[in-house]
């Protein structure tokens, strides 16, 4: 299985801050990576697909980049409604696997 | 807009079989654009992909669960189902069904999730 390691596991930032989350794959996955946002008690929501493509309707303050084994997810200006846990997911190989998640809180 | 809804018992006894159904609306489960997946999440933990089925009936399972899992599809009812046998407390989780886009395996659509507790 491809292991996806996210860091940090949690972070606290102020409204308006730039937030960056990293996701590292245990082997080269090209750009076969998606990012999701999950709010408490809700299903995950797709934000970024193919490492850097913004899903329709998702605010432009969210972005993704990277390839091979190293990926980043950025919120350029943190908003109160961005409080959630964020997950990366690889689809290069089966089984599909997720990172452990990064919980984002407001300072 | 595709919508998914999970249904099934919220409580299952240890060693028994967990059975869930996902009803798809706003789209056809026979679509060639999607796989239909099951994903679970224990309380306070991350997401685990269980497996998926395609309209043709072909399946893929997570090797960690493969010996206990069966996913099937009923195109006449626009539903797909999950069976997980020989459950233990470790199978207690929120179970989600999701539409997995065929071309890049992004989970575009999700059900709201259903909590299944394994307890006697």
B79-93 pLDDT, tens digit each: 999 999 999 999 999
Q: Does residue B68 have a pLDDT over 90?
A: yes
Mean per-residue pLDDT of chain B:
96
A39-54 pLDDT, tens digit each: 999 999 999 999 999 9
Contacts of A49 in chain B (CB under 8 A): 104, 106
**Distance of alpha carbon A13 from alpha carbon A34, whole angstroms:** 23
Q: Which of B63, B64, B108 sits opposite A46 (nearest CB)?
A: B108
Burial A77-106 (b: 16+ CB within 10 A, else e): ebeeebebbbbbbbbbebbbbbbbbbebee
Q: Does residue B78 have a pLDDT over 90?
A: yes
The alpha carbons of chain A give a radius of gyration, in whole angstroms, of 13
**Mean pLDDT value across residues A32-41:** 97
**Mean pLDDT value across residues A62-79:** 98
Q: For A36, which residue in chain B has the nearest alpha carbon?
A: B107
CB contact, 8 Å: B107 with chain A? Answer: yes
pLDDT at site A1: 96
The pLDDT confidence band at residue A18, using thresholds 50, 70 and 90, is: very high
B48–A46 C-beta distance less than 8 A: no
Whether B38 and B94 have beta carbons less than 8 Å apart is answered as no
pLDDT at site B104: 85
CB contact, 8 Å: A64 with chain B? Answer: no
In angstroms, what separates the C-alpha of B50 from chain A's closest C-alpha?
Answer: 8
In angstroms, what separates the C-alpha of B110 from chain A's closest C-alpha?
Answer: 6
A55-69 pLDDT, tens digit each: 999 999 999 999 999
What percent of chain A is predicted at pLDDT more than 90? 100
CB contact, 8 Å: B58 with chain A? Answer: no
B94-111 pLDDT, tens digit each: 999 999 999 888 999 999
CB contact, 8 Å: B48 with chain A? Answer: yes
**By C-alpha distance, which of A82, A80, A86 is closest to A99?**
A86
A32–B105 C-beta distance less than 8 A: yes
Mean per-residue pLDDT of chain A:
97
Whether A2 and A29 have beta carbons less than 8 Å apart is answered as yes
CB contact, 8 Å: B49 with chain A? Answer: yes
């Amino acid at each position: 299985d491809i292991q996806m390691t996210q860091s940090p596991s949690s972070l606290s930032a102020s409204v308006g801050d730039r937030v960056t989350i990293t996701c590292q794959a245990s082997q080269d996955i090209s750009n076969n990576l998606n990012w999701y946002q999950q709010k408490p008690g809700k299903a995950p929501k797709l934000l970024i697909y193919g490492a850097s493509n913004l899903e329709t309707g998702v605010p432009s303050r969210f972005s993704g980049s990277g390839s091979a084994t190293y990926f980043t997810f950025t919120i350029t200006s943190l908003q109160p409604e961005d409080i959630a846990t964020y997950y990366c997911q690889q689809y290069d190989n089966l089984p599909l696997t997720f990172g452990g998640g990064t919980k984002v809180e407001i300072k | 807009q595709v919508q998914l809804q999970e249904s099934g018992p919220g409580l299952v006894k240890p060693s028994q079989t967990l059975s869930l159904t996902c009803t798809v609306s706003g789209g056809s489960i026979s679509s060639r654009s999607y796989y239909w997946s099951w994903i679970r999440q224990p309380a306070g933990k991350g997401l685990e992909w269980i497996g998926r089925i395609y309209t043709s009936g072909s399946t893929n399972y997570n090797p960690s669960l493969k010996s206990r899992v069966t996913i099937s599809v009923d195109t006449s009812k626009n539903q797909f189902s999950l069976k997980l046998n020989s459950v233990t407390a470790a199978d207690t989780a929120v179970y989600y069904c999701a539409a997995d886009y065929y071309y890049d395996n992004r989970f575009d659509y999700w059900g709201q999730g259903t909590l299944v507790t394994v307890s006697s």
